[in-house]
Amino acid sequence: MSEYLVNLKINDLSVSVPEGTTILDAAKKLNFRIPTLCHHPDLTVAGNCRVCVVEQKGSRALVASCATPVSEGMEIFTNSRKVRDARKNVIELLLSEHNADCTKCFKNGNCELQDLASEYRVGDHVFIDLVKTSARHEIDISSPAIQKDDSKCIRCQRCVRTCHEIQHVSALAVVNKGEHQAISTFLNKPMNDVVCTNCGQCINRCPTGALAERSYLDQVWDMINDETKHVIVQTAPAVRVALAEPLGFDPGNRVTHKMVSALKHIGFDSVLDTDFTADLTIMEEGTELLTRLKKALVDGDKSVKLPMTTSCSPGWVKFIEHTYPSLLDNVSTCKSPQQMFGALAKTYYAQKKGLKAQDIVSVSIMPCTAKKYEADRPEMRDSGYKDVDYVLTTRELAMMIKQAGIDFESLPDMEYDRIMGDSTGAAVIFGATGGVMEAALRTAYEIVTGSEVPFKNLDILPVRGFEGVREASVTIDGCTPEWSFLEGVELKCAIAHGLENAYQLMKAVYEGKANYHFIEIMACPGGCLGGGGQPIPTNEEIRSKRAQAIYAEDSGLPLRKSHDNPEVQQLYKEFLGAPLGHKSHTLLHTHYKGRKRY
Amino acid sequence: MTVKELVNELVEKHGTTHNSLMPVLQGVVQQERYLSEEAMLTIAEALDISAAEVYGTASFYTFLDTVPRGKNVIRVCKTISCHMQGKDEIIQALEDALKIKVGETTDNKRFTLLTANCLGWCHKGPVMLVNDEVYPELTPQKAVEIIQEYERNTK
């Protein structure tokens, strides 16, 4: 942004802002709130909803404050009679095309359009009710993760911009024109039949309930109420640093143990932790990386692909299946922690607890909508049953806690149940971009050298942060004899979050312009903490607070390296054998499927 | 020439930037009369954009059809000037001659009959467009004769 300051007046107050600032942002500086709908801080400006119009002295027409840069001597009125009348008209027009069945809508109480309608006291249709006369609205529930209800769409195009700018997917586009304009897919195909990765970033930015997760709340309640079922629940790392938001707390609050408490109150038979299998993932994935390095560097095995990329993000997995099917052998064969947990729940856990696999219902709480899709993949039935039966988002869990009548704030702290409830700090940071890399390095380095990674307090700061693509390298020093071929090797790593960044990184790999050994990719901005199933709103500031909470959780834990997890050690001893062993191969690893992008 | 070859030829000519999308779409429609699923997918891949974007652009423009059309596409202007100058009779005559309704294509795939918004020939209405050719000051009989001429010339 320019150094040059522009002076203007907003509602008779003077303000100086850098050249290029929009009226909207200048008003924010003076704490004047201008309502917006199509505007989102993560996205480029669209200026199509007109809710943010303001009056500019000397100009007959109202201007869209989100799309108009300030100019010297400008005088702006954000809340004049003319502005309020126009805004009310805009809201009424938007509502005339909006199916306002608010009581049934999952966004009820957290809907930007509803808030505006309420603020401007817009009730009955002033204009013609176009929803009732339109036959084109059918809810698309083809995807197990995302549902799309065009009758609630106000065509602000935040989803289209998200899918294009942040995710490089563009499953959604604006189709047709005029009264027929809609947000749709290629040839209006069902969402499940197109390149959608189910990441849910569109849901997180939709100002209404047009895009929502497929909810399985009712089914989970049914299972809890079914006496014959043993219902277990796993909670992903990023949920504990965001769950508090929809329950009335500020972003950045860690509520791990209150969450455990709430889940027990709700009636789950056992409250367990995805972090346990995150630690397990590190054991498997770290070993896989070292094995690949050995095969490639020592044995000269040309069939071994490097760099190896992570595989815990199901949005990323589907993205690469569509985008670079030729690079699928570069993706780690490790299942995600959710699916490792699911496969173990109906085998190892069942065995230890003396339960029949068919009596176990395995539920997961995820910051993610793509996890719903992942759980539905046909490959994810290695226990002989559907490994994970139901996936709920962080938002759905918050809803469940409200439905259960729980006063969250007053809950006592409780510990996870055993077995499969133990975890380390390395698992917690899976929830942030760079976290899997950091956890993997903490373990792999120690396997190879017998000593800890050479970073103060185990904090590998170069892999942290929100820059889209980050690079880091660790020189391996002091190898044990078994790994002597790695002595002095500079292990080159790269990290990307958000699929546009992932695309740029993988393009370099595809074109042979990158020489990394290990790449971590998370489909969502900020990693899972900014996942499509996380509380709404999510923005840069909130993501940063959640990340701080995650790293605070890590540094506060007594164990911070995955291989130190006692339950993981026990699991290998009693059940799996060694990492990448036969049983691991059957239960914890998977394969991928090339899909068409075109 | 297959659709793939056609697209590749057009992309060769117009380039692979985002700006090439329109001329490539127009080029396909000129040859094929419509954009098939295969055509749109091939274009998306060649320009490295998403298929939904290609469809979004195509569906915005009335003249970029995404459903199969006949070899000759007739568009009768339906806007007010042509309406007052008798476009309904023109349409009726064409429907009778071709034995199809507006929006339909003849069994032999030679003609598709459509209506169009203002073609800018209000002073010489009623008017119709056959492919890229404008026919002003129509009478029902004249319209049918024009179509018969196309019928004779279409192999």
* pLDDT (average), residues B64-85: 95
CB B119 within 8 A of CB B127: yes
3-state class percentages of chain A: helix first, strand second, coil last, to nearest 5: 45, 15, 45
* pLDDT (average), residues A9-38: 97
> What pLDDT score was predicted for residue A131?
73
Of A496, A141, A139, A539, the C-alpha closest to A319 is A496
Partner residue facing A175 (CB), from B37, B50, B59: B59
The fraction of chain A above a pLDDT of 90, given in percent, is 94
Which residues from A are below 8 Å from B52, CB to CB?
A: 170-173, 175, 184-186, 194-195
Partner residue facing A187 (CB), from B37, B45, B49: B37
CB A256 within 8 A of CB A416: no
Interface touch A186/B50, C-beta < 8 Å: yes
* pLDDT (average), residues B127-155: 94
Structural element, H or E, at residue A152? none
Task: Find residues 17-76 of chain B whose CB sits inside 8 Å of chain A.
Answer: 37, 40-42, 44-45, 49-56, 59-60, 66
Could you please state the CATH topology (level 3) that the domain comprising B72-153 is classified under.
Glutaredoxin (3.40.30)
- How far is the CA of A30 from the CAs of A54, A80, A263, in angstroms? 15, 16, 43
Which residues from B are below 8 Å from A169, CB to CB?
A: 50
Interface touch B52/A176, C-beta < 8 Å: no
> What pLDDT score was predicted for residue A134?
64
Of B26, B28, B22, the C-alpha closest to B8 is B28
Which residues from A are below 8 Å from B56, CB to CB?
A: 173-175, 184
Please state whether the peptide bond connecting residue B126 to the residue before it is cis, i.e. omega within 30 degrees of 0: yes
> What pLDDT score was predicted for residue A133?
63
What architecture is domain A217-276+338-410?
3-Layer(aba) Sandwich (3.40)
Phi, psi at residue A392, to the nearest 5°?
Answer: -115, 145
Interface touch A175/B60, C-beta < 8 Å: yes
Give the domain ranges of chain A: 5-79, 125-213, 217-276+338-410, 281-333+425-588
Q: How far is CA A550 from the centre of its chain?
A: 14
Q: Is the pLDDT of residue A135 over 60?
A: no
Residue type, A63: V
Q: Is the pLDDT of residue A149 over 60?
A: yes
Please state whether the peptide bond connecting residue A537 to the residue before it is cis, i.e. omega within 30 degrees of 0: yes
Question: How far apart are alpha carbons A522 and A316 in whole angstroms?
Answer: 6
- How far is the CA of A367 from the CAs of A19, A310, A342, B72, in angstroms? 38, 18, 17, 54
- Three-class DSSP category at A360: strand
Structural element, H or E, at residue A202? helix A201-205
Could you please state the CATH topology (level 3) that the domain comprising A125-213 is classified under.
Alpha-Beta Plaits (3.30.70)
- How far is the CA of A233 from the CAs of A114, A259, A402, in angstroms? 33, 11, 18
> What pLDDT score was predicted for residue A124?
66
pLDDT band at residue A125, thresholds of 50, 70 and 90? low
Partner residue facing A175 (CB), from B37, B45, B56: B56
* pLDDT (average), residues B92-114: 96
pLDDT per residue over A454-510, tens digit each? 999 999 999 999 999 999 999 999 999 999 999 999 999 999 999 999 999 999 999
> What pLDDT score was predicted for residue A598?
86
> What pLDDT score was predicted for residue A390?
98
Residues of A labelled catalytic? 285, 288, 312, 332, 371, 374, 379, 528
Partner residue facing B53 (CB), from A170, A176, A177: A170
pLDDT per residue over A219-277, tens digit each? 999 999 999 999 999 999 999 999 999 999 999 999 999 999 999 999 999 999 999 99
- Three-class DSSP category at A147: strand
> What pLDDT score was predicted for residue A129?
74
Beta-sheet pairing, A5-10 with A13-18: antiparallel
- ipTM for the predicted complex comes to 0.92
Q: Is the pLDDT of residue A132 over 90?
A: no
Question: How far apart are alpha carbons A136 and A422 in whole angstroms?
Answer: 50
Q: Is the pLDDT of residue B122 over 80?
A: yes
Spell out the residues 6+ positions from residue A421 whose beta carbon is closer than 8 angstroms to its own: A271, A272, A273, A276, A415, A567
Spell out the residues 6+ positions from residue A345 whose beta carbon is closer than 8 angstroms to its own: A232, A234, A360, A362, A383, A387, A388, A420
Whether residue B8 lies within 8 A of chain A, CB to CB, comes out as: no
Question: How far apart are alpha carbons A12 and A19 in whole angstroms?
Answer: 20
> What pLDDT score was predicted for residue A52?
97
Q: What is the DSSP letter of A378?
A: T
Token pair for B147:
């179509």
Question: What distance in Å separates residue A512's CA from the closest CA in chain B?
Answer: 19
pLDDT per residue over A502-541, tens digit each? 999 999 999 999 999 999 999 999 999 999 999 999 999 9
pLDDT per residue over A108-121, tens digit each? 999 999 999 999 99
* pLDDT (average), residues B75-93: 96
Q: Is the pLDDT of residue A165 over 90?
A: yes
Nearest Cα residue in chain A from B53: A173
Give the domain ranges of chain B: 3-60, 72-153
User: Which position has the token pair 């976290």?
Assistant: A435
Question: What distance in Å separates residue B44's CA from the closest CA in chain A?
Answer: 7
Torsion of CA A573, A579, A583, A584, to 10 degrees: 130
* pLDDT (average), residues A163-184: 95
Mean pLDDT rounded to a whole number for chain A: 95
Question: What distance in Å separates residue B53's CA from the closest CA in chain A?
Answer: 6
* pLDDT (average), residues A433-443: 97
Q: Is the pLDDT of residue A101 over 90?
A: no
Q: Is the pLDDT of residue A70 over 70?
A: yes
Question: How far apart are alpha carbons A297 and B87 in whole angstroms?
Answer: 78
Largest separation between any pair of C-alpha atoms in chain B: 49
Q: Is the pLDDT of residue A1 over 80?
A: no
Token pair for A130:
């176009």
Interface touch B52/A172, C-beta < 8 Å: yes
What DSSP assignment string belongs to A4-49? -EEEEEETTEEEEEETT-BHHHHHHHTT-----SS--TTS-----S
What DSSP assignment string belongs to B44-70? HHHHT--HHHHHHHHHH-TTS--S---
* pLDDT (average), residues A19-36: 97
Token pair for A256:
């791990």
What architecture is domain A5-79?
Roll (3.10)
Per the document, the length of chain B is: 155
Token pair for A404:
């259960």
CATH of domain A281-333+425-588: 3.40.950.10
CB A42 within 8 A of CB A87: no
Token pair for A28:
């924010």
